[in-house]
Chains A and B, each alone.
Chain A
């Protein structure tokens, strides 16, 4: 038995700056005590699953699950010109953030319009914004942000003292709210999607509770002081939230139609080519990094685009497989088995205009795949046409 290359979520992404030592989150011992199968992810020793990835996936779709995402990097930005700086740094417009606590998903581009990373930015006050970036891109992200921030006098502080737990699923919010102090509960219960609030947790923990996620389910991502993370995890578990690993996180986000950095886009790919046009704001007069390159590509025409694929035959679409389309060839980006649909789904980059039925090359055999609209699954339900 020989394994073919692992999908990216289970592989250490290539990063020149990756440290030699494997890093551990404060929950590492807790995962091991729960019997987790651990894997290296971007230089971090993280839980892949606690037994069955598929069961964990279904628990998030049907009830509530939690993920240790403390390997992600929280960066605080301080200074009177922070908004102005972010207008320049990000392809999405922070001017959409008008109320304190509001969050925005955006790409951070290089001069060529290639994606350095995707991130979430939270507006807290005019001189304080918070961004959360990917683990595998931490070093280059910090270097880039610091370099660009200098001209705006913005102070960049990595918050290694904070951990993060994502609680996701139709019952996730209710279970989190039950653990908050009464005042905080009322406050956190009211926040809309893509909004964060500071809230007092059990034992007076200082939590940052955001109604965001990477699963396509409702829920919260909770930023918690590292010293309190194990206690919060255990309390969530006692409240009936099931631990879930990175494996389930990957199948959940793919069903939800969400991109994975390094697999669906990277520095050689623009948002137009990665299905991320909706995150680019070409608002008038805003000079953001990569804008001229994006406008040029848009004007000349985008040759390759990202599409969603479903395979009705048995088998599994995997990263790197060749896709044959009428206008030429493409390739599978994120691909895998969808536990909710019981068949394989994928993102692929194909020649613009490819539609209908294409073919995927699975170990030398051409298998029909259908181009569909994604998300593949929303609020626990398969979408029409999938």
Chain B
């Protein structure tokens, strides 16, 4: 299991969000989530320019086991997508918090939207409780 990086925030539904220097937010799914899903075989990405609403599904990851919606942690415009993923979905299994990022959002209102997310300790506690 990968360490949870200290600069991430989390949704209860296992997406992570990282605020970059330029104010955009990079989004992926947690290492715990990829472990639960098993080998990933397909990723459906949003399109650049899409406007996404916090809490709405905007990507799909599919593993050998199941298909899962990925929710947007913040509202805003999609400004980048990880185009390597459709050909190498296993990147999320290998490096969920790094190379396995899924998309980048330019948030409508950064400070407000990040408030509702969990910090790494709270997220670690959540998955701890899920396992017991």
Contact = CB atoms under 8 A, between A and B. Distances in A.
Interface stretch (B17-25, B58-66, B121-129): B58-66
B14, B62, B71 — most chain A CB neighbours (10 Å) = B62
B108 interface: no
Interface in B22-70: 29, 33, 35, 37-39, 41-42, 44, 57, 60-62, 64-70
A190 interface: no
Given A48-B38, A337-B41, A2 B69 contact: yes
Contacts of A4: 66-69
Given A1-B13, A1-B15, A53-B38, A315 B64 contact: no
Contacts of A247: 38, 64-65
Given A1-B13, A1-B71, A337-B41, A6 B62 contact: no
Given A54-B39, A315-B44, A316-B41, A6 B65 contact: yes
Contacts of A351: none
A7 interface: yes
Interface string A1-24: 111111100100000000000000
A6 B39 contact: no
B131 to A, nearest CB: 12
Given A314-B86, A316-B42, A6 B14 contact: no
A14 B33 CA distance: 27
A336 interface: yes
A48 B38 CA distance: 10
Contacts of A37: 35, 38
Interface residues of A, number: 24
Given A1-B14, A316-B41, A337-B42, A7 B65 contact: yes
B66 A7 contact: yes
Contacts, number: 69
Nearest to B11: A1
A315 B15 contact: no
A178 interface: no
A363 B38 CA distance: 21
Interface string A352-379: 0000000000010000000000000000
B76 to A, nearest CB: 19
A3 B64 contact: no
A316 B39 CA distance: 13
Contact of A10 (B65, B71, B86): B65
A200 B69 CA distance: 52
B97 to A, nearest CB: 15
A263 to B, nearest CB: 15
Interface string A301-342: 000000000000011101000000000000000001101000
A314 B38 CA distance: 18
A280 B13 CA distance: 48
- Sorted nearest first, the 10 A-B pairs with minimum C-beta distance are A337-B41, A54-B39, A4-B67, A1-B13, A1-B14, A316-B62, A3-B66, A1-B68, A3-B68, A53-B64
Given A1-B70, A4-B68, A48-B38, 11 more contacts: A1-B11, A1-B29, A3-B67, A10-B65, A37-B35, A52-B38, A52-B93, A53-B64, A53-B65, A54-B64, A363-B67
